[in-house]
A and B are shown apart, each in its own frame.
Chain A
Amino acid sequence: MSGHSHTAPPSDPELRIKALESLLVEKKLINPDAIDAIIETYETKIGPRNGARVVARAWVDPEYKARLLADGTKAIAELGFTGVQGEDMVVVENTDEVHNVVVCTLCSCYPWPTLGLPPVWYKAAPYRARVVSDPRGVLLEFGTRLSDDVEVRVWDSNAELRYLVLPQRPEGTEGWSEDRLAALVSRDSMIGTAVVPAQGAAS
């Protein structure tokens, strides 16, 4: 395996993928219509709205929350979110004492069924390098300032195990419906780089 050479000069990725796709289609190894369907699914159906449903359910249903923290994969599947890159899920709960944040230092492991495909910054070097050594500083770049007495836990994902953060339910949402709560839950709050802000006028 180590004999692989890197002699081919890098060229335009657009041309390279076109060359690859046309050969695979000619050899009937892929079907272009199926590729289109896969792309559409990940652009329109699978995304952080799914994870927000999970969080909102956990906020309104203590029994669901207990199941979610005990066996994330199974509880997430109850809401219909299963599949590639979500086979083994661990849900970590934010509390007044602990704030969780997720990274994949080695590559870009991310829970696709609940969050969709990861944003560029999650996959890029600065976040992967820094969040493990300076999580509070990294969170500040996202506008998230944690109190000094909150413990920060950074979870390094891998190909076998993916994490989802269960953010704290914000103040000012007492009696809200599950749908209304789900609309508050951002992608970043489920990665742990953000929190869900308190609602309502500070009167």
Chain B
Amino acid sequence: MNGVHDLGGMHGFGPINPEPNEPVFHHDWERRVFGIMIATFGGGHYNVDQFRHAIERMGPVEYLTGSYYEHWLASLETLLTEHGAITQAELDARRAQLSREAK
């Protein structure tokens, strides 16, 4: 599939800036995204090609501005709703509820 994920050889992204002594995760939400991906992948909710393809289906701006675990999160949301584990309405309602509770 042709898309913005096909980055090999593109110009203009600037320096690499490796982080010295980088931790495995930078935020707790990244830990949860990682663990939930492994658990739902292991649970047979999707395969690795579907997971990557769902990342490739992200909008190009969202893809280039999102971090690695944001890509994973988007893929999880896409696949778990498309494959019927949860519905988009449930997800929207739960986000709204958590957002209200956080205020």
Contact = CB atoms under 8 A, between A and B. Distances in A.
A21 B78 CA distance: 14
Contact of A29 (B13, B24, B85, B90): B85
A162 to B, nearest CB: 12
Nearest to B22: A119
Interface bracket on B: 35 or more
B40 A117 contact: no
Given A120-B68, A141-B16, A106 B38 contact: no
A115 B98 CA distance: 36
Contact of B68 (A8, A19, A123, A159): A123
Given A13-B70, A105-B6, A107-B55, A126 B94 contact: no
A193 B68 CA distance: 20
B27 to A, nearest CB: 7
A11 B15 CA distance: 28
Contacts of B16: 121, 124, 126-127, 130, 138, 141-142
Contact of B32 (A35, A127, A141, A159): A35
**The 3 nearest A-B residue pairs measured at CB:** A105-B8, A35-B35, A126-B13
Interface of A: 1-2, 4, 6, 8, 10-11, 13-24, 27, 29-31, 34-36, 38-39, 42-43, 47, 84, 103, 105-108, 116-117, 119-121, 123-130, 132-133, 138, 141-142, 156, 159, 188, 193
